Amino acid sequence: MTTQPENQKVSSYIIQSQEQEIKRIALELHEGVGQSLYSLFTGLQFIEKAVKEPEMKSYMGNMTNIMEKTIQEIRLLSVELHPPTLTTLGIVPAVKSYLKLYTSTYGIEVTVDHCGDEVPLTERENIALFRVCQEALVNIARYADTSSASVIFIWDKDWLSITIKDSGKGFDVEAGMEKSCGLAAMKERMKLIGGKCSIASNTGEGTAIEVLLPL
């Protein structure tokens, strides 16, 4: 019979393997596909300038605009998969970077506050925290029916607390846990790095998700 620690080891291995693959895909999108599309974009711009016939020039202009939009979408997808700042600068800059994409996509304004001195975290901890924040924010966009939310980082010498709050329509937490794999995944991710995730919500009163990580 498989014991609880063994189950956690298996879950941890699966999640780490998935994250490594996500990181690889994000890098390939940004550095590989993104750069190739940019080369095509500059080529289209060069051709557009050389074309004299008005109808063809207009057509080339439309193609250039489509290519520019595609490059932007690829870059945004890369950030959503794995923000480069997550590895280099840490969780707070990564969440702020993600929120630019989030607001432009969903139209929800999110304020970010933090107090205390930021402490360097391991890559594993940064990834877990980022995925929990990402899942919480996507759930707000899908279900909360609100135009604003907040993320609060509190750094203490012994722990880090992150609270994601909204003033939307809320939900029944017990029923939500039975239906949503995402909520269970947030708790599991925090458990695997020695932290905790709590969810507080009432119908009509919004939702607050707090994660706590010992430092």
Tell me: the pLDDT tens digits for 12-71? 556 666 666 666 666 677 667 777 877 888 888 888 888 888 888 888 888 888 888 888
Q: Please give the DSSP secondary-structure letter assigned to residue 157.
A: S
Please determine, for residue 159, whether its predicted confidence score (pLDDT) is greater than 90: yes
pTM: 0.72
**pLDDT for position 17:** 61
165 bridge partner residues: 150, 208
Round to whole Å and give the CA distance between 166 and 110.
9
**Residue 110 CB neighbour total at 10 angstroms:** 21
**Rg for the chain, CA atoms, rounded:** 21
C-alpha closest to that of 101 among 64, 134, 128: 134
